[in-house]
Structure 1
Amino acid sequence: MAASPEVRELFFDADAWAALRRLGEVRLPDAGDDVGDETVLAGLLADADVVVTGWGCAPLTSAVLAAAPRLRLLAHTGASVKPFVTADSFARGVRVTQAGEAMAYAVGEQALALTLALLHGLHRFDHALRTGVDWATAKAAPPRRELRGATVGVVGASRTGRCYLGLVRALGARVLVADPYLSDAEAATLGVERADLADLLGRSLVVSLHAPVLPETVGMIGARELALLPDGALLVNTARSALVDEAALLAALRTGRIDAALDVFDAEPLPVDHPLRRLPNVLLTPHEAAGTVGSRRRAADIVVAEVDRFLRGLPLRHEVRPADLDRTG
């Protein structure tokens, strides 16, 4: 188990631990050992068949793999496996699985919560009252809107994107989706309209980002794209900060023309003096969209089930193959 005590406690309750231990010997790092250190990881995996990873684990470099000749499966408690897998690990035949599906609903639900908060101006009211302005000034927020009947643009028909669009559609929103991999048939099944990014930005009251970080998506929302948003538009980002040019977003927010809710940032932890913290038209959360109790427990259950399937020679349900990395963040 290449995860810190904090990560293990967050994900694995007593039942999940018992289920994992029934599958074989579970080896933990020694107290104080940092699994982000390749030497520590190599020692932990010396005769391991499976490694369960968490945040901060070192990648499977050639040196780590050389010290772990029996290793055949990496099972990650989170979604993105890019920090851990390498070309060497795939070449060596180490299979990879992950628990991203467990987090999709939690992220989708928080994106909905952020959407509703922005629409109803809760962030502006809270900021005004906490900073001591008078009652009448606090009440003088920009016009507030309802989700019912609003046009919502979803960038990325990922697992989280699909959970989010299902939730906002249930509350009466019209949904546009920009995703090059979404077919017309899938869009019809989801009850959404396909659109290119520029069209989506120009027509949406709310834009929620759910795309992976790929070469073609880094900085996909820059000054030009932000300028396409209508006055009073709302941007929600629970995906990755790399999707947005943060300097361009900050400049747009300073004009007061748009509002935003952000769970991800270029610098994490977000510096205490960061200008985003002082803007009344920004709602901030500390990269915790997926951090519900239910989400983490589901992730542990997925990991245990995948390890069990692997050991019994059954197909993995959440396997990540080399080609999949080109489409995942």
Structure 2
Amino acid sequence: MSAPVVAVALTPQVRTLFFDAAAWAALRRLGEVRLPGEDDIGDETALARLLADADVVVTGWGTAPLTARVLAAAPRLRLLAHTGASVKPFVTPASFARGVRVTQAGDAMAYAVGEQALALTLALLHRLHRFDHALRTGVDWATAKAAPPRRELRGATVGVVGASRTGRAYIGLVRALGARVLVVDPYLCDADAAALGIERVGLDDLLTRSLVVSLHAPVLPETTRMISARELALMPAGALLVNTARAALVDEAALLAELRTGRLDAALDVFDAEPLPVDHPIRALPNVLVTPHESAGTVQSRRRAAAIVCDEVDRFLRGEPLRHEVTVDLLDTTG
């Protein structure tokens, strides 16, 4: 019986980020590994060519979706293993109908995102972004020192929107540093809330009571633009917003208008338009700290993701239950 074929539909750059020598060796032990060469795996024709006799496909940024056309050219395909968290850009109704199973490595990224959200929180609390902006733009020393009041995390009330994997990582970190935590999440049960040591509240209550609001929810119909002008107005003057989750959770135009008043400060890792245009007005605001959608991009996070992918492929080929499978019903409740 021939060895299973594992097609790695990743660009050379992405392959290098995720798979070190040990991960490549682990993957090659599972079957015959196929690479796309110079082909653009964002092109359906190129992806179909790569998957012609593949049993498994490993996906990442820039991989084309499993459309009916791609699937027709890949009769043996049985598993999609994604190196990231959200699989929505890659799976289709046609792939689920064909019985292609799906797994992902979102667990690998949770701690890295939680840690960056903590770093952004601390930077905002201590107004590091404002000091940096002032000094880099030539403001005199005395004026640069005149930042709004700075606060400590210890004893502060932090509101977390979404007790997701990243949300729970962030909760653990800020609680360890002495924060009181409020959480809004309709899927969080009382037992889990008690175990996390947090208080469950409604969104309006969270916004009005929190010094820091950190977003960790998936993009669903009920969460899209959940933070708009009305919600931002509920936040007290001097409050801080951190978004390392998804841009779609926030009405960007409303946020920009609020930030222009100087009433709130924000740290943003995600934007409606990515790459963020060079002339985007949010780049020039002194009360905003921006990062280029890189909160999950630690070396350790990506190595963990590769290890999860290898383990899931191994389990699948052995006929064992997948640990991180995404089914149709779960797809509707994840970002």
Does the pair score TM above 0.5?
Answer: yes
Q: Which residue of 1 aligns with 2:91?
A: 85
Q: Which residue of 1 aligns with 2:29?
A: 22
Per-residue Cα deviation, 1:62-118 (whole angstroms, up to 9, x for no partner): 111111110000000000000000111111110000000000000000000000000
Please, which of 185, 209, 212 is the counterpart of residue 215 of structure 2? 209
SS of corresponding position for 1:56 = coil
Q: Which residue of 1 aligns with 2:189?
A: 183
Q: Which residue of 1 aligns with 2:120?
A: 114
Distance in 2, matches of 1:152 and 1:326, equals 28
- The aligned amino acid for 1:209 is L
1:6 aligns with 2:18: no
Q: Which residue of 2 aligns with 1:98?
A: 104
Distance in 1, matches of 2:208 and 2:332, equals 28
Distance in 1, matches of 2:185 and 2:326, equals 20
Please, which of 81, 87, 98 is the counterpart of residue 75 of structure 1? 81
Please, which of 130, 144, 162 is the counterpart of residue 156 of structure 1? 162
Q: Which residue of 2 aligns with 1:257?
A: 263
Residue-pair matches, total = 328
1:222 aligns with 2:228: yes
Per-residue Cα deviation, 1:119-150 (whole angstroms, up to 9, x for no partner): 00100000000001110000000000000000
5+ residue gaps in structure 1? none
Distance in 1, matches of 2:195 and 2:208, equals 24
- The aligned amino acid for 2:230 is R
Q: Which residue of 1 aligns with 2:52?
A: 46
TM-fit CA distance, 1:154: 0.2
SS of corresponding position for 2:33 = coil
1:313 aligns with 2:319: yes
Q: Which residue of 2 aligns with 1:144?
A: 150
1:128 aligns with 2:141: no
Q: Which residue of 1 aligns with 2:246?
A: 240
TM-fit CA distance, 1:35: 0.6
SS of corresponding position for 2:34 = coil
Tell me the TM-score normalized by structure 2.
0.97
TM-fit CA distance, 1:314: 0.6
Distance in 1, matches of 2:148 and 2:9, equals 49
Distance in 2, matches of 1:89 and 1:269, equals 29
Distance in 1, matches of 2:311 and 2:147, equals 49
SS of corresponding position for 1:236 = strand
TM-fit CA distance, 1:192: 0.2
Please, which of 270, 274, 284 is the counterpart of residue 268 of structure 1? 274
SS of corresponding position for 1:307 = helix
Identity fraction in percent: 84
- The aligned amino acid for 1:6 is Q
5+ residue gaps in structure 2? 1-7
1:168 aligns with 2:174: yes
Tell me the TM-score normalized by structure 1.
0.99
Per-residue Cα deviation, 1:216-236 (whole angstroms, up to 9, x for no partner): 111000000000000100000
- The aligned amino acid for 1:168 is V
Q: Alpha carbon RMSD of aligned pairs, Å?
A: 0.5
TM-fit CA distance, 1:30: 2.2
Distance in 2, matches of 1:17 and 1:293, equals 16
Distance in 1, matches of 2:141 and 2:12, equals 47
Distance in 2, matches of 1:303 and 1:111, equals 25
Distance in 2, matches of 1:51 and 1:279, equals 43
- The aligned amino acid for 1:234 is L
Q: Which residue of 2 aligns with 1:284?
A: 290
TM-fit CA distance, 1:307: 0.3
SS of corresponding position for 1:256 = coil
TM-fit CA distance, 1:161: 0.2
Distance in 1, matches of 2:333 and 2:197, equals 23
TM-fit CA distance, 1:237: 0.2
SS of corresponding position for 1:264 = coil
